[in-house]
Amino acid sequence: MKLTIHGYSTALFSTWYFIEELGLLFDAGDGLTSNLLGKCGKIKNIFISHADRDHLGGIFQYNQLFAHRKPNIYYPKDSGSFPFIENFTSQFDPHTSGTTWNSLEDEQVIQIKSGIEVLCFENQHIDVKDQLKSLSFQVFETKHKLKQEFTNLSSKEIIAIKQDKGEDFIKEKIKNSVLVYSGDTPVYDYSKYDNCGVLIHEATFLKKEELAKGNDKNKHSSLEEVLEMVSQINIEKLILGHFSLRYDMQQIDQTIKELITYYNIKIPVFRVPLGRSQRDILNQKPLN
């Protein structure tokens, strides 16, 4: 599946990623509408990973401009900020309506269009006992393929069998993980990301030892950990973002290249620059 992904992601300030072909937005940080402009009208479903303000600050202007498009907004069920925002926007912008607000359970699956589903799963960014406050998201595409035993039959024979036995008799479902969006999270379970087409993963810090210093009350990943994980799983493309402003882009790019070499990573690796949105990320030149 071709994916045109636009995004912005700088730690503390704003994060959002828009997958154009799917009408799908992950997180809704500040600057969403001013960067995407009219493309925002293509957004049908918004999945917000958690309630940190840099991941939802753009929802107010988006909702004011595009609620009439009847988008769906999804959020972790125990994030109290979202019912408050829903109530606030209904009063602050009473002339707008159409947005549907939906809370999500762990492992809940949402169908966003024919053959496309989003699986929501809890991560460890906000780790509160018995409360679901932070999520990652996985996009699956399901296709129907003719079973091997029927591939040598003529079209007429296949149609006859289909009419007699039904489509499920001659076709099998093929379900592929086309994209995973980590949201903010530490690296903790490689299997969550294995065998996906595109992985979008945060890399707030560069080295593992920086995490040990307790730099943040909520848990994040280091670039070193992410690339170590990627070297041990099967993915096709990697997008890195959410870098901290404690680094400059030269330092970030140099560290990425060093770790790519160290872990012998062969897949294309892309990164979202600090303080700047990136259009069509996968069509840019990878760092390797």
For residues 214 and 10, the model is more confident at 10
Is residue 288 in a domain?
no
Give me the CATH number covering residue 201.
3.60.15.10
For the chain, how many structural domains are there in total?
A: 1
Does residue 213 surpass a pLDDT of 70? Answer: no
Question: With bands split at pLDDT 50, 70 and 90, how would you rate the model's confidence at 238?
Answer: very high
Structural domain including 223 reads 5-283
Read off the pLDDT of residues 158-207 as tens digits, 9 standing for 90 and up.
Answer: 888 888 888 888 888 899 999 999 999 999 999 999 999 999 999 999 99
pLDDT at 218: 66
Is residue 132 in a domain?
yes
The answer to whether the pTM exceeds 0.85 is yes
Read off the pLDDT of residues 103-145 as tens digits, 9 standing for 90 and up.
Answer: 999 999 999 999 999 999 999 888 888 899 999 999 999 998 8
What would the 3-class secondary structure string for the chain be?
A: CCCCEEEEEECCCEEEEEEHHHCEEECCCCCHHHHHHHHHHHCCEEECCCCCHHHCCCHHHHHHHHHHHCCEEEEECCCCHHHHHHHHHHHHCCCCCCCEEEEECCCCEEEEECCEEEEEEECCCCCECCECCCEEEEEEEEEEEECHHHCCCCHHHHHHHHHHHCHHHHEEEEEEEEEEECCCCCCCCHHHCCCEEEEEEECCECCHHHHHCCCCCCCCCEHHHHHHHHCCCCEEEEEEECECCCCCHHHHHHHHHHHHHHCCCCCCEEECCCCCCECCHHHCCCCC
Does residue 271 surpass a pLDDT of 60? Answer: yes
Is residue 231 in a domain?
yes
Is residue 173 in a domain?
yes
pLDDT at 144: 86
